[in-house]
């Protein structure tokens, strides 16, 4: 398992430092013991336990090993593919010390056990039998050398027993340490997996928290902001986490007054008309108030969209059913007019015919609105499109001949949209412009202009009185009209079709006209 994943490097670094301290303590203790035994006056104790040259050689070599381990501590953390060389060196040095001290019955053999354990830890629980087998081999060699000094005449059962017990202890320590190290490695892997899962959950919760439709603010009784999401930050850019705010004092006053854990209220915050849902939370015995808020304008728009969707589904079904009886009414009205000479009755017939035409136009607009998602986008050259469109327009409205001016940028003017949708949008805009213009030579001016952001705008301008500031707020609302014969759906349908083609339709009061923006072909 990758050491970076399961967190072993931090443990091994600490183990290396502790092992260096143990080495220094061992070297200092051995040398102190040697010096003290050499300085005693008792002749029986003056017999040296260690050979002087051999001991000094061991001390110098072990001191160099300690110094190198302190300067380069990470050399002890080797890959798992091979046994740890550092551990093998330590075991060899301790075995050498045991041999110098008189053999397996000298008592120095017990020092092999902690170094066997550290070797298993450095190898993360791997190769315990290799380490134990290597120590066993060293113990057997030292025992054989110790017995060979007596020419194998007196084989001591005590020495053999100590050797066997020491070998058993080595295997026990190696197995136990390997089991502990393996368990620790598994727990580290599990901890890493759980931390990754928690990070994923935290990331998902953070995304969910920041991408909900409502703005969310959590604050305490003093007005200190504990948490704020992206939507609330868009509403109120001045809010900062861990800073107090007086923005919600109206809400806080209601909370303190009414003592409710859950409540809703409407209020105006920093100029925003908001709908607020409040809920009491407890965090470490600190009462917190979580405010979920939305602009009432957004709520009204959503409500309108739902109503319009339901209305569209209903009217789509009714439109077909209404057309058939309306056709029968129109034919009957025309038949009645053929034999009629009374001007009063003819005027009534004319009123019926006009209202039938108005209903037909409304049904046509509704039918077009329900087809806005059925797009057949294609590249449309606006020069070619305009030439065909204006001929059709003046054919239906011959009085508009020579009353329409075109002002277009040079070069290719190609948009990517549905041609039927573009035809319907332009017809609505041109029809509105002609109806509200002065109907003279400068009645309508059409400006086609390239934008830098891969867009092309088509602006239809008339020389009429323009739209009042009050009516501008309702221009694109369905069924809003200032004309007695209008349906109130023309501009609403036009904007919906523009947005269905990734465009926009807006009223420009400074130009007294409507601007249609559509995507331009990238590769013209």
For residue 281, give the nearest of 296, 293, 291 by alpha carbon. Answer: 291
Percent of the chain with pLDDT over 70: 82
Strand partners, 507: 514
Q: What is the pLDDT of residues 41-87, one digit of tens each?
A: 455 544 456 778 888 888 899 888 888 878 876 666 666 656 777 78
Mean of the pLDDT values across residues 421-438? 88
- What's the CA angle centered on 177, arms 176 and 179, to 5 degrees? 65
Q: Which residue has the tokens 């393996």?
A: 182
Binned at pLDDT 50, 70 and 90, residue 458 comes out as very high
Give pTM, 2 decimals: 0.43
The CATH number for 211-297, chosen from 3.20.10.10, 3.30.450.20, 1.10.220.10, 2.40.160.50, is: 3.30.450.20
What's the pLDDT at 316? 62
Residue 212 or 379, more confident: 379
Estimate to the nearest angstrom the gap between the alpha carbon of 445 and the chain centroid.
48
What's the pLDDT at 169? 92
Residue 60 or 302, more confident: 60
The CA distance from 264 to 283, in Å, is 22
- For 12-76, the DSSP string reads HHHHHHHHHHHHHHHHHHHHHHHHHHHH-S-TTT-S-SS-HHHHHHHHHHHHHHHHHHHHSGGGG
Least confident among 16-30, 265-279, 386-400, 429-443: 16-30
Q: What is the pLDDT of residues 139-168, one digit of tens each?
A: 899 888 888 776 655 567 788 888 899 999
Mean of the pLDDT values across residues 221-228? 88
Q: What is the pLDDT of residues 100-154, one digit of tens each?
A: 888 888 888 888 888 888 888 777 778 888 889 999 999 899 888 888 776 655 5
What's the pLDDT at 446? 93
What's the pLDDT at 516? 92
The CA distance from 107 to 118, in Å, is 20
Helices (H), 283-437: 296-338, 343-370, 382-396, 419-436
What's the pLDDT at 308? 63
Q: Where are the domains of the chain?
A: 3-193, 211-297, 299-370, 377-519
CATH topology of domain 377-519: Heat Shock Protein 90 (3.30.565)
- Six-digit token string for 272: 């925003």
Binned at pLDDT 50, 70 and 90, residue 2 comes out as very low
What's the pLDDT at 41? 45
Q: 465 in helix, strand or coil?
A: coil
For residue 272, give the nearest of 239, 251, 250, 294 by alpha carbon. Answer: 294
In order of 70, 380, 409, 455, 513, the CA distances from 516 in angstroms are 75, 15, 15, 10, 10
Residue 487 or 21, more confident: 21
Q: Is the pLDDT of residue 172 over 90?
A: yes
Strand partners, 424: none
Q: Is the pLDDT of residue 481 over 80?
A: no
Q: What is the pLDDT of residues 317-357, one digit of tens each?
A: 666 667 667 777 777 777 777 777 777 777 777 777 777 77
Exposed / middle / buried, residue 98 (Cβ in 10 Å: 0-12, 13-18, 19+): buried
Q: Which helix (H) or strand (E) holds 199?
A: helix 157-211
Q: Which helix (H) or strand (E) holds 494?
A: helix 490-500
What's the pLDDT at 137? 92
């Amino acid at each position: 398992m990758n050491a970076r994943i399961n967190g072993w490097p931090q443990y091994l670094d600490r183990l290396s430092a502790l092992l260096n301290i143990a080495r220094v303590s061992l070297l200092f203790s051995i040398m102190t013991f040697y010096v003290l035994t050499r300085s005693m006056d008792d002749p029986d104790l003056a017999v040296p336990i260690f050979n002087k040259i051999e001991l000094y050689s061991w001390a110098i070599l072990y001191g160099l090993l300690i110094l190198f381990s302190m300067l380069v501590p990470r050399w002890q953390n080797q890959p798992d593919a091979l046994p740890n060389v550092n551990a093998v060196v330590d075991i060899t040095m301790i075995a050498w010390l045991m041999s110098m001290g008189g053999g397996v019955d000298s008592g120095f053999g017990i020092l092999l056990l902690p170094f066997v354990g550290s070797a298993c830890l450095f190898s993360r629980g791997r190769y315990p039998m290799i380490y134990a087998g290597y120590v066993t081999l060293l113990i057997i060699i030292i025992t054989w050398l110790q017995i060979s000094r007596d020419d194998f005449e007196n084989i001591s059962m005590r020495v053999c027993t100590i050797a066997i017990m020491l070998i058993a202890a080595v295997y026990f320590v190696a197995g136990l340490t390997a089991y502990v190290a393996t368990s620790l490695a598994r727990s580290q892997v599990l901890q890493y997996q759980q931390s990754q899962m928690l990070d994923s959950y935290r990331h998902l919760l953070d995304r969910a928290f920041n991408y909900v439709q409502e703005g969310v603010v959590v604050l305490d009784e003093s007005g200190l902001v504990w948490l704020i999401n992206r939507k609330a930050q868009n509403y109120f850019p001045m809010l900062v986490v861990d800073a107090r705010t007086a923005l919600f004092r109206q809400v806080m006053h209601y909370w303190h007054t009414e003592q409710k854990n859950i409540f809703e209220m409407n209020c105006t915050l920093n100029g925003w008309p908001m709908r607020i849902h409040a809920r009491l939370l407890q965090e470490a015995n600190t009462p917190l108030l979580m405010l979920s808020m939305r602009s009432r304008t957004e709520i009204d728009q959503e409500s309108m969209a739902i109503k319009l969707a339901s209305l569209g589904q209903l009217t789509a079904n009714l439109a077909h059913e209404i057309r058939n009886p309306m056709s029968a009414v129109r034919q009957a009205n025309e038949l009645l007019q053929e034999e009629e000479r009374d001007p009063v009755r003819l005027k009534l017939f004319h009123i019926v015919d006009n209202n039938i035409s108005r209903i037909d136009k409304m049904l046509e607009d509704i039918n077009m609105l329900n087809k806005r998602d059925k797009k057949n986008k294609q590249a449309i050259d606006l020069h070619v499109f305009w030439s065909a469109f204006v001929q059709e327009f003046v054919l239906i409205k011959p009085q508009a001949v020579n009353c329409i001016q075109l002002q277009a940028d040079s070069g290719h003017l190609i948009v990517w949209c549905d041609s039927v949708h573009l035809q319907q949008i332009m017809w609505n805009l041109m029809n509105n412009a002609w109806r509200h213009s002065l109907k003279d030579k400068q009645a309508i001016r059409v400006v086609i202009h390239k934008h830098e952001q891969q867009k092309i705008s088509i602006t239809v301008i008339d020389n009429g009185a323009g739209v009042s500031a009050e009516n501008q707020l309702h221009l694109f609302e369905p069924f809003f009209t200032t004309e007695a014969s209008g349906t109130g759906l023309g501009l609403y349908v036009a904007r919906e079709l523009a947005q269905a083609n990734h465009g926009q339709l807006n009223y420009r009061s400074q130009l007294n006209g409507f601007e249609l923006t559509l995507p331009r072909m990238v590769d013209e």
